[in-house]
Amino acid sequence: MTKGLSFDQLYPGKYIKAGEFKGKDVTLTVTSVEREMLSNGAGGEEGAAIVSFKETEKQFVMNKTNGVCFRALWGDDSGEWAGHKITLHAVKDESGLSESGLCIRVKGSPEIDKPLKFRAHLGRKVVTQTLVPTGKQKPARAVDTDTGEVSDPAEEAEEFAAFDEALTNERNDGAVDRVAAEELI
């Protein structure tokens, strides 16, 4: 059976939705953070933090859980966040508030070189969160225990890239199926 589009992909909008990530992590460059009034679903409006990115016109409605991650990475002044890279991913929504059952969370940033563990106050709760490096790590050489042969990560990456280039998506009339931020969102 062919997998179709998620509900979020069928009905895209101005804002990034977790279902549009297609199960992939997405790294984006922050261009600005502003406050806007958005509908609260009960006939009123409330202020929300809106993040814009270089790689897409879609914006991210940033809740406090994600906001404390931005602050842990780059400080309290949201004006200083512009130009920095953030990696977002979709996770199961434990609150039950999202229609898709997924929500967007900050995974980390390619700008950090080791995990960043911190405590944050979210309402009455104090939570411990860990952000991880999401940049390209230098791959370790692997040794085949049967042959003793040492693999070359750069060569394997080239082979994988060639294989990836050859993959096509039948639903796109043979067009190469690439995973990139602009396609995901």
Shared domain check, 85 and 15? yes
11 within a domain of the structure (yes/no): yes
Cross-strand pairs, 124: none
Structure tokens at 156: 């394997």
Cα separation, 28 vs 107, whole angstroms = 12
Cα separation, 165 vs 117, whole angstroms = 37
Shared domain check, 100 and 179? no
pLDDT of residue 8: 63
pLDDT of residue 31: 97
Once rounded to an integer, what is the mean pLDDT over residues 136-156?
56
Shared domain check, 153 and 85? no
- Tens of pLDDT, residue by residue over 44-76, are 888 999 999 999 999 999 999 999 999 999 999
Shared domain check, 150 and 123? no
Shared domain check, 164 and 116? no
159 within a domain of the structure (yes/no): yes
Structural domain span for residue 150 = 138-185
Cα separation, 20 vs 30, whole angstroms = 19
Shared domain check, 152 and 77? no
Q: pTM (2 decimals)? A: 0.68
2 within a domain of the structure (yes/no): no
